[in-house]
Amino acid sequence: MSNKKISDESVIDAARLLRKGAKMLSLYCPECNFPLFESEGKTFCPNCRREVIIEVGKEERAQKEEKEIVLESDTLESLEKAIVKVCELITSSNSAEEIKLLSESLEKIANAFEKLRK
């Protein structure tokens, strides 16, 4: 996995995607560990700005439950990082509109985090 940095712009883009109805998946980008999103039938990483294709082979199907546990753990870690980043952006923002957008996104990310923890 690359150590590609997650940009402030990517977090804001992710917030906009959530607001527009995109679905944040319980999977993460293999390059930057940012949560993947799905919209209009495409899976993509807002941080890397590229589509991600998810393939499931025969062997992978047999090990699906095992991998889901690992993915869930990694996803929780990614969501924690996203929560911290959004909080930092809210604190440093001077725009009421941006703060509102980020707050709404923070709530959605926190809800996804709680659902995965259960």
DSSP 3-state assignment of 20?
coil
DSSP 3-state assignment of 18?
helix
Domain-located, residue 3: no
In contact, 105 and 19? CB cutoff 8 Å? yes
pLDDT in tens, 79-112: 888 888 888 889 898 999 999 999 998 898 888 8
Q: How many CB atoms lie within 10 A of CB 39?
A: 12
CA geometry: angle 34, 108, 12, nearest 5 deg: 50
Domain-located, residue 52: yes
The C-alpha R_g of the chain, in whole angstroms, comes to 15
Question: What's the total number of domains in the chain?
Answer: 1
Whole-angstrom distance, CA of residue 9 vs CA of residue 26 = 21
Bridge partner list, 28: 35
Reported pTM: 0.48
The pLDDT assigned to 1 comes to: 41
Residue 81: domain span = 8-117
In contact, 90 and 12? CB cutoff 8 Å? no
Domain-located, residue 28: yes
